[in-house]
A and B are shown apart, each in its own frame.
Chain A
């Protein structure tokens, strides 16, 4: 196991991502942050907190469960069973720029599922993808608009984001 990022670096990356998102924001369009369960949810809350300090009126934050939109439901592999959880988005996504947040962008399949789930909730002005870690291995034509850190991980390696809220410690590791 190798540590790619520590707590301080993760913090700094989130600051930078927030700065870039604010810089790109058109003045007349509202933005909102939506995290993919489960670690995307935590990162989304942290990003929304940072964005709310920079944007007047604050930035709403929601959580998206993509289980029902996964493309492997009928061809399950391994021992982990997909568990349906709640989607909690307490605002209208229509006409907003949605910053979709996940911890790692790998195959692109989660992002695809998330986009399908989002457009069943409404019609956002745009969806932008923000990830803490971008690694090689894309299977779908999907790229991040905001990538915090590009990891060089060989196929078969697992890049894991650990956060204190969910894992009790804060680091990005490859194993």
Chain B
């Protein structure tokens, strides 16, 4: 579908991408427009372009991740940057080094961009105050996962033309989901109406302060929405007993073939991955014709290329003005 892009003069000025909450709709749109220009690089003979040649990107991951880490590494290398992988397991973090010491040591090696994932909310923001390199948030605590929010918005915009006026449900463990928060910011800023859906135990307590609707019944919203984003049940984060059993959760909040029969015929089915097949979503739905899950992964690389390119551009401009 043809996407309406902006033409008015706009200048990207952020050398860090810490979250989507602080971004304006024009900034989000600009990232998505830029990402469109990066998409074709991954499809052509030479899957590489030179804008970050000679730049050093560090993947600084204090939490497990395969998809996001690889996606960032791929994005960086397709822009010709060099990439250093730095994970908690095999670093001196496990020897007691603090976040800032780790970062300062990396900076002494001449890094240009830090892509950071951290269990503590706000860690990327803290880091950005103490180092000169660009900081890109790849997930912090339960706060934000901005590139996931951007790639979800990008995928929807590409397939639906615009997010304006769309009804979007985000279903599952909202409380522990930084994806839900970044999605919410990106989607509502671009004009969509977002509903959080899940059992009351998995909806955050101060949800009334967020720009969303809330529903405790998937059956109530399934017929109305244009897009449904099924979050992964993150067993590693769940404390207590938020639902009686996995079977009961599936029964009420799983996206089943039966529920899909009541959905709009052109509904987009999304999932940030990795999927617990049979739990939040039945296999037939995950692999069905409405599923855009693999397109999300593909678009993620283009969106991350755009983010790395833009923060580097802003840093270069800031350096040039001294």
- Tell me the A residues contacting B by CB distance below 8 Å: 65, 67-69, 73-77, 79-87, 116-117, 119-122
Within the complex, what minimum Cβ distance (angstroms) separates B7 from chain A? 10
Tell me, in angstroms, the Cα distance from A87 to B12 when the chains sit together.
Answer: 21
Is A121's CB under 8 angstroms from B317's CB? no
CB distance from B243 to the nearest CB of A (A): 45
* Interchain CB contact under 8 A, A81 and B45: no
Within 8 A of A (CB), among B272-322: 306, 309, 313, 316-317, 320
Binding-face segment, B35-43, B168-176, B260-268: B35-43
Residue in contact with B45 in the complex, picked from A69, A84, A122, CB distance below 8 Å: A122
**Alpha-carbon gap, A81 to B309, bound state (A):** 12
**Does B167 reach chain A (CB closer than 8 Å)?**
no
Task: Give the dominant DSSP class at B's interface.
Answer: helix
Contact A68/B50 with A73-B313, A122-B45 known, Cβ cut-off 8 Å: yes
Asked if residues A120 and B316 are in contact (CB atoms below 8 Å), the reply is no
Contacts of B126 in A (CB 8 A): none
Which residues from B are CB-within-8-Å of A69?
49-51
- Please state if A75 and B40 are interface contacts (CB–CB under 8 Å): no
Q: When the two chains form their complex, are residues B313 and A86 in contact, meaning their CB atoms are under 8 A apart?
A: no
**Chain A residues with CB below 8 A from B306, complex form:** 84
**Cα distance A82–B310 when bound, in Å?**
10
Residues A76 and B34 in contact, CB atoms below 8 Å apart: no
Give B residues with C-beta under 8 Å from A: 9, 11-12, 33-34, 36-40, 44-46, 48-51, 79, 306, 309, 313, 316-317, 320
Q: B46 contacts which chain A residues (CB < 8 A)?
A: 119-121
Query: Smallest CB-CB separation from A87: which chain B residue?
Result: B40
B316 adjacent to A73 (CB under 8 Å): yes
A121-B316 in contact (CB<8A): no
**Known contacts A74-B316, A77-B320, A87-B40, A121 near B49 by CB under 8 Å:** no
Are B36 and A68 touching (Cβ within 8 A)? Answer: no
Chain A binding surface SS class = loop
Point out the residues of chain B lying under 8 angstroms from A87, CB to CB: 37, 40
A-B residue pairs in contact (CB < 8 Å), sample of 18: A67-B37, A68-B37, A68-B79, A68-B309, A69-B49, A73-B316, A76-B313, A76-B316, A76-B320, A80-B9, A81-B313, A83-B33, A84-B306, A85-B37, A86-B37, A86-B39, A86-B40, A122-B45
Please, how many angstroms separate the alpha-carbon atoms of A69 and B49 in the complex? 7
Contact B317 A120 (CB under 8 A): no
Contacts of B45 in A (CB 8 A): 120-122
Contact of A75 among B11, B39, B49, B316 (CB under 8 A): B316
Contacts of B12 in A (CB 8 A): 81
Shortest Cβ distance from A117 into B: residue:
B49
B275 to chain A, nearest CB (A): 31
Q: Considering the complex, give the chain A residue whose CB is closest to the CB of B316.
A: A74
Give Cα distance in the complex from A69 to B34, angstroms.
15
When chains A and B are docked, how far (Å) is the Cα of A67 from the Cα of B52? 12
Identify the closest chain A residue to B30 (Cβ): A83
Nearest residue, chain A, Cβ from B7: A83
Q: Looking at the assembled complex, report how far the CB atom of A123 sits from the nearest CB atom of chain B, in whole angstroms.
A: 9
- Would you call B11 and A81 a contact (CB within 8 A)? yes
Instruction: Tell me the minimal C-beta distance from B197 to chain A in angstroms.
Output: 35
- Nearest to B318 among chain A residues (CB) is A76
4 nearest A-B residue pairs (beta carbon): A84-B37, A120-B46, A68-B49, A68-B51
Complex: A79 Cα to B306 Cα, angstroms: 20
